[in-house]
Amino acid sequence: MADMHAYRDLKLCTKDCLCLFVCPVGATDTETGQIDFEKCIGCGACSRACPAHAITMLPNTMPAQQKKKKEVIDSLFKVARSKIEELRTLNYLLENTNDDKEKLLLKALIHSNKVMVEDIMREAGYMLPQSTNSNKFLNYLLNKEDDLDKTIINKLLEKLEVND
């Protein structure tokens, strides 16, 4: 089996079918949006040809999560917490303004802060879904008493073996 496989992001795909023409084994199906995992030989031709950057080559086995020093992780969490506080303030301001320009600016700031928090949390050890941290987080969500649909969480836990 190939070390890598192609994955298509349907949100980016413009259905121009280039990947269909270049694939040597007929693994891409632009009608269903699927790339056949069994057929794909991981050559990367579709990914190179795709003008919309909708296809990514991913390794079958992900590397272990990179270890970080406790001081680094603590600092990252501090920055993330301060960004979350900022988000609360920005959301409050957004709810309490009627000015369209202000709304636009606040929405942009909220988006930018969210992206930053996501980046920081990835750097703090939640980069890979099969890391111990991510596994603990999924278990936390699973055992949380709320109306969250747990089907996907169960599937992720079933499929993602911890590797660090």
CA distance 35 to 90: 41
Q: Closest approach of Cβ 1 to ligand SF4, in Å?
A: 12
For 84, the enclosing helix (H) or strand (E) is helix 70-95
x-marked contacts with ligand SF4 along 28-47 as a string, rule CB under 6 A: x-x----x----xxxxxxx-
Q: Closest approach of Cβ 130 to ligand SF4, in Å?
A: 23
Task: Please give the structure tokens belonging to residue 152.
Answer: 């996907």
Give the alpha-carbon dihedral of 142, 134, 58, 111, to 10 degrees: 90
Using rule CB under 6 A, residue 19 touches ligand SF4:
yes
Instruction: Looking at residues 55 to 74 of the shown chain, list those that interact with ligand SF4 (rule: CB under 6 A).
Output: 55
Residue number, 8 or 83, with CB nearest to ligand SF4: 8
With CB under 6 A as the contact rule, which of the stretches 23-31, 95-103, 121-129, 141-149 interacts with ligand SF4? 23-31
CA distance 164 to 48: 32
Using rule CB under 6 A, residue 52 touches ligand SF4:
yes
Candidates 125, 128, 157; CA nearest to 141 is 157
Reduced to 3 states (helix: H, G, I; strand: E, B; else coil), residue 79 is helix
| Footprint on this chain of ligand SF4 (rule: CB under 6 A) | 6, 8, 13-19, 22-23, 25, 27-28, 30, 35, 40-46, 49-50, 52, 54-55
